[in-house]
Structure 1
Amino acid sequence: MPGEEVAGRRRRWQISPRTRREWWVFVLFALPNLALITTFTYVPLFTNVYYSTLNLTIGSATAVSVGLQNYTTFFTSPNGLAVWRTTAIFTVATVGGSIVIGLLVSLVLNQNLRGRTVARAAVFSPYVLSGVGVGLVWLFIFDPVFGVLGHLLRSVGLTSPEWFLDPDLSLAMVIIVYVWKNLGYCAVVYLAGLQSLPRDVMEAAALDGAGAFSRFTRIALPLLSPSTFFLLITCILNSLQAFDLLRIMTPLGNGTNTLIFEAYLQSFGAYQRAGYSAAIAVVLFAVLLIMTLVQLRFVEKRVHYA
């Protein structure tokens, strides 16, 4: 009957009191988190996008809309091209150095050696230290007059390089410090991966005559691909957002102007170009998003999950 069909449809679409109660509980708990995320993440994000279209100076009461001029200036000016070059060199060097050296250190820490627990703690401890404190300590080491490195070089008849005056040396200096600070993180992640490798597979390969190098390159390294993939994503994101070491060791840039540091210098440095700085920040956000999506889309296909 038509009336029975309509009643049946109403019963199917009717929400039970229990479901309605669970829905309101979900809203009660989720709404504060959504409000916080919206207030402190999405509102600043879209506000920054709007500021990037303005000729805005910090302290100025007015701003003029310039459309995409800030982006055009950044992508076409020599200074913008230099920032891209510095960002690429810094990211590739720090990510590659941290992962490669971290892997080698993890192989040593995975051996049954006396004092390995203390060694593991010593390797990982720089990662949890304040970047400001680490930068200040290394400033003393690299100082050409009073630094430890300069004293060691003079003791063997050499002169200390001008780390803070030469842009290339300044970039090399912050890369060395950043790799030193973060290699412990990569080593711990790789160490966990090494300890989870199937022992029966490694022992079977050894019985078949495979040497240590062959077992590492043909068995262990492919099985460590999930750890490598995880480190690749996190290290790239961290390197692109590295700021504290750069700010402490090279306050005015001088060859260390990565995207995030250039955004800071343009806004809070001598220029105080808030609109131009906002455009660089938007570009950095787009780079981070694209890098993450590309890795998830293409690099993960080469990962072998056990």
Structure 2
Amino acid sequence: MTQSATAVSRASGKGRSRETRAGWILALPFMLLFLVFTAWPLIQSLFMSFTDTKFRDLKHPFAVNIVGLKNYTKAFADPTFRKAAANTAYFVLVGMPLTLIIALAAAVALDKGITRFRAFFRLGFYMPVITSIVAVAVVWRFLLQPDSGLLNTALGWFGIDGPNWLGNEKTSMPSLIMMAAWRNFGTAMVIFLAGLQSVPWALHEAAAIDGASAWQRFTKITIPMLRPTILFVSVTTLIGYLQFFEEPFVMTNGGPLNSTISMSMYTYKQFGYGNYGYATAMSYIIFVIIAVVTAIQFRVMRDNT
């Protein structure tokens, strides 16, 4: 190697070193904020889940006892937590497909079927998403009142005696699912609509010339090309529905007879009772469930995209 080549190499190395130092200096403020406000609280909360920390221990944090996995085993043995887990699974397994089907149908209608006042319908479908969930839940609670609610009043016009939607174990969870699907399908609809508009129309024209029906073009062309979009929407919807909290908190308070209590709501109640170690353990159980289910969803759907 000649002297000029060596000098160029050294200069290049010094330049990269300066760029590296500059990068670390610029990233340092974010790293400090991340460590102080994110990483450290996470580490503290994970440690708390292995202790018997309660409200009274806040004044004496060094007096807590390490109980190992006792909080986790207690959660799995807790019949209320198991009931909350079953309710959450029911909410997700029914609510997520219902939301995605409604969202996809609305997106297809807006993309091809509705030609007049399309912007108006887009805004109308998306309005529930940007409305406060608490306000939406309160309005739906009044709509589902057994005596004066709008839904039962409308059923009464046809001679149908409507049930106590939120006060009956059989109808309380379907009522929450119906409200959640109505409120949340707007977000998935907008994403589906963007995906539909990226599907080349030439493929549909070629398939139509070959004699394919509209349903065949939808199932053989549109759906396969929407799989990355479906993956994204299903994952984000799943994560949100696994953490559902506001709906039962505002509309039913987990009742009747814990038929609508969710894992997040039960965890929140344990924090309210001052059982911080136990509640934190349940929070990490929810985190692990979300991580595992999301990973499975990625694995299953990504293999088909």
1:53 aligns with 2:50: yes
Range that drifts further, 156-165 or 173-182: 156-165
Give unpaired runs (5+ residues) of structure 1: none
Pick from 196, 199, 202: which aligns with 1:197?
Answer: 199
Cα distance between partner residues in 2 of 1:291 and 1:52: 22
The one-character-per-residue Cα deviations of 1:186-227 (angstroms, maximum 9, x if unpaired) are 111111111111111110000010000111111111111111
Cα distance between partner residues in 2 of 1:89 and 1:52: 27
Cα distance between partner residues in 1 of 2:213 and 2:288: 45
Alignment-derived partner of residue 180 in structure 2: 178
Pick from 149, 155, 158: which aligns with 2:157?
Answer: 155
1:267: Cα distance to partner?
1.5
Alignment-derived partner of residue 23 in structure 1: 20
Alignment-derived partner of residue 72 in structure 2: 71
Cα distance between partner residues in 2 of 1:81 and 1:23: 51
Pick from 192, 206, 209: which aligns with 2:208?
Answer: 206
Runs of 4+ displaced beyond 6 Å: 8-15
SS at match of 2:270: helix
The one-character-per-residue Cα deviations of 1:87-123 (angstroms, maximum 9, x if unpaired) are 1111112211111111111111112521111111111
TM-score by length of 2: 0.88
- In structure 1, what residue type is equivalent to 2:235? I
Cα distance between partner residues in 2 of 1:291 and 1:194: 27
1:262 aligns with 2:262: no
Give unpaired runs (5+ residues) of structure 2: none
Range that drifts further, 24-33 or 179-188: 24-33
SS at match of 1:45: helix
TM-score by length of 1: 0.88
Query: Does the 8 A contact of 1:48 with 1:282 survive in 2?
Result: no
- In structure 2, what residue type is equivalent to 1:113? T
Q: CA RMSD in A?
A: 2.4
Alignment-derived partner of residue 292 in structure 2: 290
Percentage of identical aligned residues: 31
Q: Cα gap change, 1:164/1:69 in structure 2, threshold over 3 Å: closer, same or farther?
A: same
Alignment-derived partner of residue 87 in structure 1: 88
- In structure 1, what residue type is equivalent to 2:48? Y
Q: Cα gap change, 1:11/1:191 in structure 2, threshold over 3 Å: closer, same or farther?
A: closer
Q: How many residues align?
A: 295
Pick from 171, 187, 190: which aligns with 2:189?
Answer: 187
